[in-house]
Amino acid sequence: MYQINYNQPVHVHFIGIGGISMSGLAAVLLKEGFTVSGSDAKESSLTTWLAGLGASIAYGQTASNITEDIDVVVYTAAIHPDNPEFAAAREKGLPMLSRAELLGQLMRNYSMPVAVAGTHGKTTTTSMLTHLMMAGELDPTISVGGILRSIGGNIRLGSSEVFLTEACEYTNSFLELAPKIGIILNIEADHLDFFKDLDDIRHSFRLFAGKIPADGTLIIESGIPGLDFFTDGLPCRVVTYGLHEGGCHAADISYDAQGFASFTFVKDGVPAGRYRLSVPGEHNVSNAVAALAAGSLLSIPYEKMAEGLLSFEGTDRRFEKKGEVSGITVVDDYAHHPTEIEATLRAAGHYPGNTIWCVFQPHTYSRTRSLMDDFVKALSLADKVVLADIYAARETDDHSVSSDMLREKLAAKGKDVWYFPTFREIEDFLMENCAPGDLVITMGAGDIVKVGEELLKR
């Protein structure tokens, strides 16, 4: 495979450079003195930003964009072989790297690469660890899967040997990475349009754990079923963590009126400081313990880690308060897996308010179909549920599953639940039925956020 070497900058061309992840990787290379070009369908704030950093951007993807001076081409999984630039690069015999392969290549240029993996919680935990590193003045380079306001986007360009990134399991992308510290938050059934079943997913996470070298460390949640499967025979050090148990865990957890937790971090049986969060929910205590376990490995002083955690107020679309209108609070959350939904709704239970309205947009037909009963159980934690159509994402509707089917199952459980095929109908319904003091949570990985934003406008 082509090897990116910071000591030998070359010309890298990105097909789809305006994507949130691709743009961040392009910015890293620009900082390291590489020549960067790329193409995208249309101009955006990200392409404008990259152009300001020195990238050459073409709008529209044509074979002529693959010029003779390009040394390597980077593409995303969304780019197909019939893409004119992809086809031209292959015809010229240019080295080609997927986005995940490039990320792995970049990590190899740092002596302390850190990767956060897990079915859910990756963005939040990576963001928490970002705040710990910045409070500890580690000056890291960071690639996070969401917009983190404290770094002004999804990328931070540092000057140290520390590189922090999320490690996504979809299409086994995380197997291209080379972490010195690897974190596994949880392992559950998801992305079943790619993985055959849960055993297939577990096998991939074991391979990820095996990528950590002998002088590295795996930090893994102690409650993952069959933990020994992931840890037995690893050459690296293993640190377990958990909410209440593990080598690192939380003790004396309490919550304030907003649902923000305070807790004692316990490491190897010894209390190591008292911490307070500025994000709600028990699941975020667990995320914080994972981040603290990594921070202690990086020798960040405990008082600095406490300062960093307190400063973290969330990322976009993770229990993000959008505003209030007529006494109704509108929150948006990215949760699209049953476990994430349950965690978010339990966190909402600590939030001041009367009725909790969950406005949910299922994400992908395969996930909705395979986890239907789990969705019913999780959504039942809301007082009232409003369903939008399934967000297709990368899939095609085969009419085997629908949001109305989910409505029927929830109604059979006695829940107050409604389904509307358009956002406008959802907005009208909420305007007519929500009361002052209610909490409305728009939830899903698609574009359901627009409903809350429109409510605030109206």
Other residues' Cβ atoms within 10 Å of the Cβ of residue 429: 15
CA atoms within 13 A on the CB side of 51: 13
> What is d(CA 17, CA 241) in angstroms, rounded to the nearest whole number?
37
Q: Which is it for strands 217-221 and 181-184: parallel, antiparallel or unpaired?
A: parallel
Which residue among 101, 166, 320, 427 is the active-site one?
A: 166
Residue among 47, 119, 123, 344 flagged as catalytic:
123
Residue 197, token pair as written in the block: 């079943």
User: Tokens at residue 346, please?
Assistant: 């339990």
Catalytic pick from 47, 122, 176, 427? 122
339 is catalytic: no
Burial label for 155, CB within 10 Å (0-12, 13-18, 19+), is buried
List C-alpha distances in Å: 275 to 121, 266, 299, 301, 331: 19, 11, 17, 13, 25
SS3 134: helix
| 422 is known as an active-site residue | no
- DSSP letters for 87-113: HHHHHTT--EEEHHHHHHHHHTTSSEE
Residue of 252, 244, 245, 237 whose CA lies nearest to 296? 237
**267 among known catalytic residues:** no
**Hunting for tokens 């037995």 — which residue is that?**
232
The most distant pair of C-alpha atoms in the chain lies apart, rounded to whole Å, by 65
The torsion angle over the Cα atoms of residues 118, 119, 124 and 127, rounded to 10 degrees, is 40
Residues marked as catalytic:
122-123, 166
